Structure 1
Amino acid sequence: MSVLDTLDDLDRRIVVAMQNDGRASWRAIAEVVDSSTATVARRGQHLISAGVIKVAVVPSLGATGDVSTFLIRITCQPGMQILVAAELVTHADVRFVTIVTGGYDIFAELAVSGGATHYPQLVEELQSITGIERWRSDLIMHIYKVSFDWGRQLFADTLRLPAVEHPADTRTAGTPGTPSTTDLQIVEPTPCSPTHFDSADWKILDLLRDDGRVTFQAIADSLGMNESSVRRRFERLKAAECIDILTLVPAPALGMGAETLMTVKVSPARMDAVARELAQHPAVRYLAATLDENALFCEIIMPSTNDLYTFITSTLSQLDGVEGWTASMELLFLKRGFIETPWWRGQVSYPELGAAASA
């Protein structure tokens, strides 16, 4: 029996609380889920060690300079999907990788440092991966929403989670933005840039990437720094929106059975308005405007196909300006937010992947 099949209601509440803040103390999480600190700490640590949860802290887009992102759709030679996806995971410039149903086998996002003009050099290497049959790329012009706490929709009325003041998290590639809704004025913050970091900051982030819950004291001991200095540096980068705290969890762990990627074709004049309406829906985890076909690309995570059907018929199809869509169900997510998911290798059996495939 998979560990995902053994999660009870308290486990799922702990997961959702950690999605909201992956570095929150066990005591703070216990207050959110209304349980004892000892119980929450024991269960939370088990969820992490079992690979159900992965907490990581990574630099925001733009932290290393100008960056452009591309949506990649790949068709593979028969039987090569897993091997191609596994190779993509190893590349630092690949932000997410997922295997899907439909007309393509793999969707991925590629972050190109230095801007779009540097795309040809990078793509030449990636397109040479054995097993790739067809490669389609599309420039991501604007990212409207990136959410890592999509699980809150399950416990919206019962968990003591901080309110989401601005459902539409407006971000542009290389320019972390301020959350906004359609009835709020968008205020662009100072973009994160390499000038916000020094060598000590990067050393701290290297440790937090591997274990996003490592204590400030442990980091300080490892780097020969003061705990207060490490904490101050972290809080400064967080306040400047130069880092993202990710809590990765497979959707089935929360009983979510419908992970879907949709390309929504929109009337050009209604692009921004439709995006802002969609961004307010709690099931929309990611939303961006692409260059090709005046379309929006979005990821939707819902409990069931019935819920997905209701969303499409009652929300998406009713939006003024939506002209149609194509969709693919996600079968296996291998990487998100530049971090490899800890569970995917245990879900496949490919000798070609080596011993790690059965870990």
Structure 2
Amino acid sequence: MDEDRSRLPARGLPGDPLGERVNPNALDRLTDLDKRIVVAMQRDGRASWRAIAEAVGGTVATVTRRGQQLLASGVVRVAAVPALGAYGAYDSFFIRITCRPGMQMAVAEQLIAQRDVRFCTVVTGNYDIMAELVVRGGATHFPQLIEDLQGIDGVAQWRSDLIMHVYKVSFDWGRQLYGERIEGEAEELEPEQAETCSPEHFDEADLEILAALREDGRETFQHVADRVGLNESSVRRRFERMRAARCVDILTLVPSAALGMGAETLMTVRVAPARLDAVARELARYPFVRYLAAMLDENALLCEVITPSVAELYRFITESLSHLDGVEGWSANMELLYLKRGFVETPWWRGQVALAR
């Protein structure tokens, strides 16, 4: 990463809760340039401002200023986290929770504090909260985890389902906003590649580097080196080695509403058993299908759909989903507030809750 950028703090003032400084009005004021900067950072969250300026067609000064403002306001957060295989074998479970009246936010806040919760969202419908729980060591370790988490004050009912196979995870908005394809992106969905990362790929220094970059994924290698007690070249070399081995995920998080996407929906699509894979591959072709996975129960696909409006969601359901050969029905929940994605707490949710109050 080029060190050609001055820096502004991307987090709150000392003592402020994460996200307290997020300006809710900023979510509605992103310009087209802002959105293109976000897309560029989603494709490479550690790209230099110079590289981002070249990608979006703006001047380095303007792109640097606007990009820093997006980070400082909390509208965007960049974080580097270890890949799923970094801690060895694991199984993932989709969790649906019903809470006692008025306890949704208290339960959600306790859930996102758990290291094993990968995403967490408050929803409408028959459930109050939906989350993904990654069980390190595999399903045999699940009973102890659910005993701890089901004991959270306010949890009334808990339903879990094994995620068998993930077809698609997309954080990049370029294709949906501008019809752009990522260089090298295949037209057809390719089989998921096997995990190449394992615990043996890390040592204590590697994990310290990632811990620093989890807080701010755009931190300079020199600042990280000062923090962990290594020289800059060693930190850079170690990070690039982890990245080449697919042992680190660089996430650029932004609220969908800031990009003009007003309808976030989690759908459980029931499919005829013989058509499960074929339907999944067809759904994965839609750019507004952001996440897609096969679950164990009910021959079902878990599908996150993010569209500009409810009208667009309705059009997708009536003109596309309902006509797919093998689809037998679905249930759906609107996402009201996303608190965590990719193991990273979103920086805007606390500000949105405070504004609502």
Per the normalisation by structure 2, the TM-score is: 0.89
Q: 1:229 to 1:166 in 2, by over 3 A?
A: farther
- Rounded to whole Å, the distance in 2 between the matches of 1:254 and 1:227 is 36
- Tell me the number of residue pairs that the alignment of Structure 1 and Structure 2 aligns: 334
- Rounded to whole Å, the distance in 2 between the matches of 1:248 and 1:327 is 23
Which range moved further: 10-19 or 326-335? 10-19
CA contact (8 A) 1:150 1:301 kept: no
Q: 1:82 to 1:190 in 2, by over 3 A?
A: closer
CA apart distance, 1:58: 0.6
- Report the counterpart of residue 287 of structure 2 in structure 1: 282
Matched, 1:203 2:223: no
- Report the counterpart of residue 119 of structure 2 in structure 1: 96
- Rounded to whole Å, the distance in 2 between the matches of 1:285 and 1:54 is 18
Amino acid at match of 1:332: L
- Rounded to whole Å, the distance in 2 between the matches of 1:344 and 1:259 is 15
Residue number among 323, 343, 347 corresponding to 1:342 in the alignment: 347
CA contact (8 A) 1:57 1:243 kept: yes
- SS state of the match for residue 241, structure 1? coil
Matched, 1:306 2:306: no
- Report the counterpart of residue 51 of structure 1 in structure 2: 74
Amino acid at match of 2:199: P
* Post-superposition CA distance 1:189-241 (Å, at most 9, x none): 45311011111111110111000001112212222323222222212211221
CA contact (8 A) 2:29 2:258 kept: no
Amino acid at match of 2:282: E
- Report the counterpart of residue 227 of structure 2 in structure 1: 222
Residue number among 183, 187, 205 corresponding to 1:163 in the alignment: 183
- Rounded to whole Å, the distance in 2 between the matches of 1:164 and 1:136 is 39
- SS state of the match for residue 143, structure 1? strand
- Report the counterpart of residue 7 of structure 2 in structure 1: none
Unaligned runs of 5+ in 1: 168-180, 351-356
- Rounded to whole Å, the distance in 2 between the matches of 1:275 and 1:29 is 33
- Rounded to whole Å, the distance in 1 between the matches of 2:173 and 2:36 is 12
CA RMSD of aligned residues (A): 1.8
- Report the counterpart of residue 262 of structure 2 in structure 1: 257
Per the normalisation by structure 1, the TM-score is: 0.89
- Report the counterpart of residue 20 of structure 1 in structure 2: 43
* Post-superposition CA distance 1:131-162 (Å, at most 9, x none): 111100001111111111135411225xxx74
Unaligned runs of 5+ in 2: 1-23
Matches within 5 A, 1:116-265: 116-156=139-179, 162-163=182-183, 165-166=185-186, 181-182=188-189, 186=191, 188-189=193-194, 191-265=196-270
* Post-superposition CA distance 1:288-320 (Å, at most 9, x none): 110100100011111111211222222222221
Q: 1:33 to 1:325 in 2, by over 3 A?
A: same
CA contact (8 A) 2:79 2:213 kept: yes
- Rounded to whole Å, the distance in 1 between the matches of 2:75 and 2:83 is 24
Matched, 1:34 2:39: no
Instruction: State, as a whole percentage, how many aligned pairs show the same letter.
Output: 66
- Report the counterpart of residue 3 of structure 2 in structure 1: none
- SS state of the match for residue 2, structure 1? helix
CA apart distance, 1:6: 2.1
- Rounded to whole Å, the distance in 2 between the matches of 1:30 and 1:267 is 47
* Post-superposition CA distance 1:324-352 (Å, at most 9, x none): 111111000000100000100011149xx
CA contact (8 A) 2:97 2:156 kept: yes
